[in-house]
Amino acid sequence: MNESIRFTFNVDGSNFTTAGQASVQVKKNLRELGIPPEAIRRVSIAMYEGEINMVIHAHGGTAEVIVYEDKIVIVLSDRGPGIPNVELAMKEGYSTAPDNIRSLGFGAGMGLPNMKRYTDDMKIDTEIGVGTTITMTVNF
Amino acid sequence: MKISDIKDLLDAEVVCGEENLDHNVFSACGSDMMSDVLAYVKDQAVLLTGLVNAQVIRTAEMMDMVCIVFVRSKKPTPEMIELARESGIVLMNTEKRMYEACGLLYKSGLVGNGVRHE
């Protein structure tokens, strides 16, 4: 199918309280489109973790969700500091989040591993001092 | 177990979502780390937590949870209550601490991982 539906959001990096708003909206939109519930859940959790990461580490960015006939692609882009060691960042429990983030319930080093676990494919393009783009695909 | 049973077992006060107390739930989890909730919890319906911020509500929403119990008499903020109302999530608080609250529910048949919530 050539036709696809695209949702684009700005993720505000200045406010932890509002982090996750885009994911909540995507969940609603996907429900309205009649996407299978399990796929909706996987997309929302992966995107939510990504949004939180963008707020904690990268001063926000943009989130794009593209819905195809049989898959959903999530593209999260930021102009943050980049990830120095992707392999290390993918390890469960490894985190560079500051202590105040841990007191808010995040920064346990589960973000990227969770995103990988809930999606069928995840690609990380990152450059120090330039930014990071994470592309995730959920098939259904 | 109905959500109203959780209220009774924990001697809890319902903050919002009274209309959903008849909803049946089959599993629960207790955590203050939302990333752990997002990682390990599958098909759980109830979240017990001592953490109070808007991300608790969003985490529950992402996981399709239907009830959040705040332990140690923690009170959700008006903004959290509004978010929960929008999503139809029941919020309640109990004076009990996390360990005791989880134990009481577990003993009464509300188990952790492994039981699917349909």
Residue type, B56: V
> B29, B32, B34: which to substitute to probe chain A, counting the most A Cβ within 10 Å?
B34
pLDDT digits (tens, 9 = 90+) for A61-99: 999 999 999 999 999 999 999 999 999 999 999 999 999
Task: For residues B46 and A102, give the distance between their C-alpha atoms in angstroms, rounded to a whole number.
Answer: 22
The CATH number given to B3-107 is 3.40.1390.20
ipTM of the complex: 0.90
Q: B56 at the A interface (CB within 8 A)? A: yes
CA distance A50 to chain B (A): 11
Instruction: At A112, list the tokens.
Output: 């990227």
Instruction: Tell me the domains of chain A and their CATH numbers.
Output: 5-139 (3.30.565.10)
Q: How many CA atoms lie within 13 Å of A96's alpha carbon, on the beta-carbon side?
A: 14
| Helix, coil or strand: residue B57 | helix
Tell me whether strands A71-78 and A60-67 are parallel, antiparallel or unpaired. Answer: antiparallel
Question: Is the CB of residue A12 less than 8 Å away from at least one CB of chain B?
Answer: no
Residue spans of alpha helices (H) in B10-69: 34-40, 54-62
Q: How many CB pairs (< 8 A) connect A and B?
A: 67
A103 pLDDT more than 80: yes
pLDDT in tens, B67-117: 999 999 999 999 999 999 999 999 999 999 999 999 999 999 998 754 333
Task: Check B35 against A107: CB less than 8 A apart.
Answer: yes
